[in-house]
Amino acid sequence: MECPAVMEMVAVQTGSTFPVLNAMIVLPALGALVVVLLPNSRPEMMRPIGAIFSSMAAAMSLFVMTQFSSQDPGFQFESIQSWIPALGINWHVGVDGISLWLVVLTGFITPIVLLAVDPHHDPKPYTAWLLLLQAGSFGAFLSLDLFLFFVMFEIVLVPMYMLIGGWGYDDRRYAATKFFLYTMAGSALMLVAIVSVATLSAGDQGITFNVIELAQRQALSTNTARLCFLAFALAFVIKVPIVPVHTWLPDAHTQAPTAGSVVLAAVMLKLGTYGLLRFGLYLFPEAAVWGAPTLATLGVIGVVYGAIVATMQKDLKRLVAYSSVAHMGFIVLGIFAFTTQSLEGGVLQMVNHGLSTGALFLLVGMLYERRKTRVIDELNGIQSAAPIFAGFFTIVMLSSIGVPGLNGFVGEFLILIGSYDTRRWWTVIAATGVILAALYLLWAYQRVFHGEPTPTDEATPDLTLREGLILTPFVVAIVFLGIYPKPLLDRIEPAVDGLITHIENHSDYERPDPADPIAIDQHQLDEDDH
């Protein structure tokens, strides 16, 4: 009975009853269908048409961003339609400050990938899978129904498996299968937990998969909630991934085509960290507090381990893949520190990582197209032959390191500052990851771009105008967020504060009080002067 009122309220807030979130999900899926129906005789039309549908969905994400109220901590643009009423399952979508920027990031990445990367063969299925991947990602970030989320979470799995297996490199089938098996193992446990949460929380109120209602009920016993939390957490940490369930990621990245690597790093990994925030902390606040030390520890291990292993890599793409393990460890630490700053930094760093690492994979892919190798020892002195390419690579690399003035610094700084009060020693250890990141990335840059070039290195073409235009939005976003992150933080903070308050209300956690200001005795100062 509350749904019409909620929808009416949302309509007043947004000024429109148009189901923009539904359209964002449907448009890429419709685009995939259109591409499939195109005649095979027109392969040159596949990617441009796909980019049009993808860009229309991206434009809607920008509309949501501009109309989003930064003062509202709740969900906006909500849309609820009955789906399977007998089971309490609805098509229920909405966006808040936590999911907003991940939606915008998804809209930003996909059209760029479609325009930037040539699949070299079979453009029809390639384009259709990328569009379906965008639709599923939108759906997962916007879902406020557990069953709907699970469906979208699984939809995303299939296109990525197909992209790796169909357009990847030599060991693509092994990498695709490993990715599929790891993710499916976690998803199976999550499905059991979803059914358990919905049925055991039913009581006299009836069964529901509504995330908001389940979070309010808090009907599970402590032990049951902890078991369900562990099932959800395992599914999400595999997706992140964090040590020790990370081994599928380097293989998937190394063997995936450039487009697959960019989308995997920029969007799909965020399904794991977003899931921990949206469902782990929101549905199971007491269990999240109980499991926080373990997950924070695994996150910190990932930071250090990912950085050390990255230093040892001979393949440039594999090095960037292990850097993702380290960066995602930072985000996990921020999530389970439970402070406003750490959670803000975690959400912001999801976006930052998507921009920086997505751009790095694009650049590595462009370099491979030129030299047909990613082996670091086989590349030397590229800077002298391709100075513009080297310039773009430098900016993106420095943002990944976390240099002040670029986006990576803001996110990592907020995580470290926010985590220090509640996870002090974890934070101290994680801070070494910043130093190690500088070590492996600068060392790789020195070997690839500096030194005496061989005749083959000297023949490396510089960036084309088209490639420069594709990379420029990444660089602009990297610099802008490094200098002025306020628009993002203003919209993230109310949702994060509301989540922490929810955790406080349903657990024994208390957020740390700000340090008391030091009182200055002016009389004493005057006496000291004399």
Distance CA 370, CA 461 (A): 7
Q: What 3-state DSSP class applies to 89?
A: strand
Confidence of residue 5 (pLDDT cuts 50, 70, 90): very low
Per-residue pLDDT, 515: 54
pLDDT at 15: 39
Amino acid at residue number 289: V
The helix, strand and coil proportions of the chain, stated in percent and rounded to the nearest 5, come to 75, 5, 20
Strand partners, 143: 93
Token pair listed for 269: 């990994």
Question: What is d(CA 23, CA 496) in angstroms, rounded to the nearest whole number?
Answer: 27
Nearest residue to 276 via CA among 235, 248, 224: 235
pLDDT at 6: 35
> Quick one: tokens of 71?
């003062």
The runs of H, that is alpha helices, within 15-99 are 20-37, 46-67
pLDDT at 462 over 80: yes
Give the closest residue to 112 by CA, choosing from 56, 51, 194: 51
Residue 517 has pLDDT above 50, yes or no: no
The structure tokens listed for 513 are 């009080």
The SS3 of residue 483 is: helix
Helical segments of 38-169, H only: 46-67, 100-116, 123-142, 146-167
Residues 6+ apart with CB under 8 A from 121: 167
pLDDT of the residue at 514:
63
Task: Flag whether pLDDT at 528 surpasses 80.
Answer: no
- Above 90 in pLDDT, residue 203? no
Q: Is the pLDDT of residue 8 over 60?
A: no
Q: Which residues are CB-neighbours of 251 under 8 A, at least 6 positions away?
A: 171, 174, 175, 178, 179
Please report how the helices 424-449 and 316-335 are oriented relative to each other, as an axis angle in degrees rounded to 10: 160
